Amino acid sequence: MPEQVRIVRRFLTRHDRAGRVSWLDMTKLPPRLIQGCGRSPSGHKRKNHNGRSAQRRAQGGELCRTKIARPLRFLQAILIAFLLGAISRMPVPSVSAATDKPVLHGRHWVAITGKPLGATAGAKMFERGGNAIDAACAMLGVVCTMYDDVAWGGETQALIFDPRTGKVVGINGLGVAPSGATAEFFEGMEFEGQKLKYPPGEGPLASLTPGNPGALMVMLAEFGTLSLKAVLEPAMQMAEGYPIEAETVRKIERSEEKLKQWPYSRKLFFPHEGAFREAPRAGEIWRQPDLLNTLQKLVDAEQAALEMGKDRKAAIMAAYDRFYRGDIAEAFCRGSQEIGGLHQVEDLANWSVKIEETVQTTYKGIEVYKLTSWTQGPALLQTLNLLEPLDLQSMGYNSARYIHTLYQAMNLAFADRDFYYGDPDFEPKTPIQGLLSKDYAAVRWRLVDPTFNLPDLGPGDPYLFQEGDNPFPDLLKNWSNLKSAKYEEFAEQERLDKEFLLGTTSIQAADKDGWAISITPSGGWLPVPVAGNTGIGMNQRMQSFVLDPAENPYNVVEPGKRPRVTLTPTIALKDGKPFLACGVQGGDTQDQNILQLFLNMVEFGMTVQEACEAANLTSFQMRSSFGEHDVQPGKLTLVEEVPSWVRKDLERRGYWLKFEDKNSGPLTAIYFDREHGTFWGGASNFGDDYGIAW
């Protein structure tokens, strides 16, 4: 029902003596006022046995008693017309709904992440006088310690709004391929009995250099206010022992066979060796003494530097050096090599966290910022460029036409992602200027059929919109999703869906001084090999590279190179100030979900909590960044509540539909209420993601 009609109904209501609300229309008038007007007391036309109305049955000149009913109907019509005219000019949201979770309202600060204990760590930093960056770093440490689909050996991708400069900066904490990780090394290798087409998705050979410790320390040193000791304290307390959650226990037990093949993983995750149940029980105090020892070494390095007279920043970076160039690096590489990994101490020493320029576009006056082409983030910006000229509101929220339009826009943007995105530090460089050109978007949109899905919409040629020539015209011409499309039986389909949605977590924080941060950390989900006695779980991000240049010549594995990853935090500004900071769990679907959250708020007037809980659609017409990099053109997953007429319309448009109760990873977000100077925090109504605000 249109929002204007809802408001009219609020104006035209009355309360009876029992306090019940009724809609003032002819269906609620007393029967005597509508008797003879062709309506029953229910408001429906009366029929006689011949199907004639009661009014036509009146004989002998009996008059219809409408002296009261007709004026009331006339008055009602005039009032409705007046109110609709007035309300149509009001800026009312066109979609609204009750939410399962309340909005988190805060005046001073807000901290949100994938685990309540993680959010508590953020709150502790605020209570110590820290800023949003301090809080985010503490949350990062805790979720890594909890193996919330991320471990200390994983990677950090972050955006920070710095109120001192009014700019959004990017944090590149993604590790690189270690020495010896070449396409030739992996080609022909077997993994679990099958010949590899891509680098492996599990085990030590799947691991890049660790990024989370370095990113945490660089963010803290450059943008935080507290000491490393203070920020690591919650994570260290948890490494000393915390009541493990049932979800983590289930993941351990499901991965038992794989975890036990790596000695230090076996020791960590199965503390009751020889017992009937060797994994920890839910609620049991689970201890990680090796990790605690590693974190203590970082704190010791900071303290020693402070005692030598170094300032806060230099002391934190002394801890950084100990991890990447000292005894911790040596222990990590030794532990990796013991189980077949490629890491050398030079790999860690030569790696560094990058503080880098972001990329951005504007959508109807809102500036949306993403990390550049080593993530999938620019695909969101490309999709917004494609959609901006369209009247999405007139299509209707989640109508078949709206869903088709989003699907086609994502097809175009993600085809470019799959061919052009890669590490910008390596040649050839991603043509990011052309990809983000609005003129390029306008040309690309001409390819879309408004009535039918095109299963093989390929990448375009952005070099036509920037300097230089396309170095791969032949590869571009021969690129096709249909050549590698997969439509599998149910069991295999479950695997494909799981790989496409591989998890992570998200972190957002903001404070009254204007700091805002969004982080999407990941890597080191279970099953995870642990690198020797460091207690550091290793990441699995090598699988996001390709081996064949024909698939993506910008993302072929090389030592020292970063793969193109799915991890993609978002910050949006309005009038130069934070408007939205958000993130989401879930592999290749992340920017699909963020797109819909953003449009839910900007186009359909939802609150941040409504937008986090709203129904999502998922396109599988893009290449997975995991496993076998499968693609399933035309596959579209929707929530079960989608009505039958929308389903039928989409099927006529060429879609293969699948339905889920929940169709996204948990979304988390902070909306900045400039009118009142407050924060609105939101999180999906499933999963453990939530936050704390004050």
Main-chain dihedrals φ then ψ at residue 657, nearest 5 degrees: -95, 145
Whole-number average pLDDT of the chain: 87
Residue 80 has pLDDT above 90, yes or no: no
Burial of 285 (0-12, 13-18, 19+ CB in 10 A): exposed
Residues 34-38: contacts with CB under 8 Å, at least 24 apart:
34/69, 35/65, 36/62, 36/63, 36/64, 36/65, 36/66, 37/64, 37/65, 37/66, 37/69, 38/64
Both tokens of residue 522? 């990941």
Q: Where are the alpha helices (DSSP H) in 557-676?
A: 590-602, 608-613, 644-652
Of 339, 332, 381, the closest CA to residue 360 belongs to: 381
| Of 1-5, 400-404, 565-569, 621-625, the least confident | 1-5
Taking residues 667-683, what's their average pLDDT?
97
Question: Distance between CA 176 and CA 557 in Å, rounded?
Answer: 10
pLDDT confidence of residue 188: 79
At 204-248, the pLDDT tens digits run 999 999 999 999 999 999 999 999 999 999 999 999 999 999 999
pLDDT confidence of residue 503: 60
Of 423, 429, 458, the closest CA to residue 444 belongs to: 458
Residue 546 has pLDDT above 80, yes or no: yes
Q: pLDDT band at 586, cuts 50/70/90? A: confident
Question: Distance between CA 500 and CA 510 in Å, rounded?
Answer: 31
Both tokens of residue 514? 């204007």
Residue 179 has pLDDT above 60, yes or no: yes
Q: pLDDT band at 492, cuts 50/70/90? A: low
Residue 53 has pLDDT above 80, yes or no: no
The share of the chain scoring above pLDDT 70, in percent, equals 83
pLDDT confidence of residue 662: 84
pLDDT confidence of residue 664: 84
Both tokens of residue 362? 């504007």
Question: Distance between CA 182 and CA 494 in Å, rounded?
Answer: 30
At 509-539, the pLDDT tens digits run 999 999 999 999 999 999 999 999 999 999 9
SS3 667: strand
Residue 474 has pLDDT above 80, yes or no: yes
Question: Distance between CA 97 and CA 99 in Å, rounded?
Answer: 6
pLDDT confidence of residue 504: 79
Q: pLDDT band at 43, cuts 50/70/90? A: very low
pTM of the model: 0.86
At 614-634, the pLDDT tens digits run 999 999 999 999 999 999 999
Residue 682 has pLDDT above 80, yes or no: yes
pLDDT confidence of residue 493: 52
Both tokens of residue 418? 């799959």
